[in-house]
Amino acid sequence: MNNKKVPPPPVLPPSIKINENFCLLHKGEIRGKIYTCPSCKINYCMECAEKASQEAKLCIKCKKLILV
């Protein structure tokens, strides 16, 4: 017979809701113009998006290149 104990199922963390007025690049309120990622629709400050584009950084949410 099989008397092995089965571990409980994993508990998943609650889904994280990102504030629409929050820039994930500088981790603060969006200031000035807004850049929206065409793939995942997350918002960034235009200033942060331009800098990230020049440095060939990826979108934090969808991991695609930020192209401004």
9-36 pLDDT, tens digit each? 777 666 656 667 899 999 999 989 999 9
Q: Which distant-in-sequence residues (6+ apart) come within 8 Å of 13 by Cβ?
A: none
Q: How many domains does the chain have?
A: 1
Q: Report yes or no on 42 lying in a domain.
A: yes
Q: Report yes or no on 50 lying in a domain.
A: yes
Pick from 7-16, 27-36, 38-47, 53-62: least confident: 7-16
Q: Report yes or no on 62 lying in a domain.
A: yes
Q: Report yes or no on 37 lying in a domain.
A: yes
Range of the domain at 43: 20-68
CATH code, domain with 52: 3.30.40.10
H helices of the chain, where? Answer: 46-54
Q: Report yes or no on 5 lying in a domain.
A: no
- Whether this model's pTM surpasses 0.85: no
Q: Which distant-in-sequence residues (6+ apart) come within 8 Å of 26 by Cβ?
A: 45, 48
Angle in degrees, CA 45, 46, 50, rounded to 5: 120
